Amino acid sequence: MLFLVRSTNLNIRFQINYDLIDYINGGNKMKRHLLTASAWLAVFVLGLALFINFTSSQGVSAQDHVIAKTVNWRQPSESQAYPNLKKYKHVWIYVSTKQQKVYFHGNGHVIYTMICSTGKPSSPTPKGTYHIQAQRGLSFYNAASGEGAHYWVSWKGHGIYLFHSVPVNRSGKYIPFEAEKLGTPASHGCVRLTVADAHWVYQHVPYGMKVVIK
């Protein structure tokens, strides 16, 4: 490759020839050994790999999945089919309280993204690393809060902190004004999901799966 830079007082000719670059300045020729072009490329690739690894460790995929702009609290968060978890290795769940999303990771990348609602400021969702517990069920109702939910799965406290659907009333009917808060912090500490997402989690997420909440 040849690069030529000209100015009134300076005539510099850069010629990359493997690991040698000749500098010509006012007729004085100096030779310096530098990294080869391929070495610079290797440094760039390494830096890019480290960046991707860092973002993945934070629960963010380099290529995020597309979810609906308008939240339908009854439907799946994504237009694509739910993943078959048996086809993936090292599956785990990352809950972002900042993004209000649940990311399912498998084979080192995000395989599905769900919109959620974590705890409001007065009742925040506990942050840390947990695992799916044995307790799960089709529905519950908490008289103290006046709310319940369908399709619940415990991840802390053996029935205290859960993944579950948007709230229902005493009769088991969904509460629209609460359901429409999905995507914003609104729960009593649990992780609310759409009805379809909660049903899928109830049916397919196994005991012992790691859950990271940040």
Domain shared by 132 and 184, yes or no? yes
The mean pLDDT of 108-136, rounded to a whole number, is: 98
Domain shared by 53 and 136, yes or no? no
Least confident of 42-46, 110-114, 121-125, 145-149: 42-46
Domain shared by 130 and 44, yes or no? no
Domain assignment of residue 181, given as a range: 85-213
The number of domains in the chain is 2
Residue 19 has pLDDT above 70, yes or no: no
Question: For residue 153, what are the contacts with CB-CB under 8 A and spacing of at least 6?
Answer: 132, 135, 136, 162, 163, 164, 201, 202, 205
Residues 164-190: b if buried by 16+ CB within 10 A, e if exposed? bbbbbeeeeebbeebbebbbebbbbbb
Domain limit, last residue, from 57, 74, 95: 57
Domain shared by 176 and 90, yes or no? yes
- Residue 12 — very low, low, confident or very high, per pLDDT cuts 50/70/90? very low
Is 79 contained in some domain? no
Domain shared by 45 and 107, yes or no? no
Residues 39-57: b if buried by 16+ CB within 10 A, e if exposed? eeeeeeeeeeeeeeeeebe
pTM of the model: 0.70
- Please identify every residue annotated as catalytic: 164, 190
Could you tell me which of 162, 108, 110 has the C-alpha nearest to residue 137? 162
Percent of the chain with pLDDT over 70: 68
Domain shared by 28 and 130, yes or no? no
The mean pLDDT of 122-138, rounded to a whole number, is: 98
Residue 178 has pLDDT above 70, yes or no: yes
What is the residue-averaged pLDDT of the chain? Answer: 81
Domain shared by 107 and 196, yes or no? yes
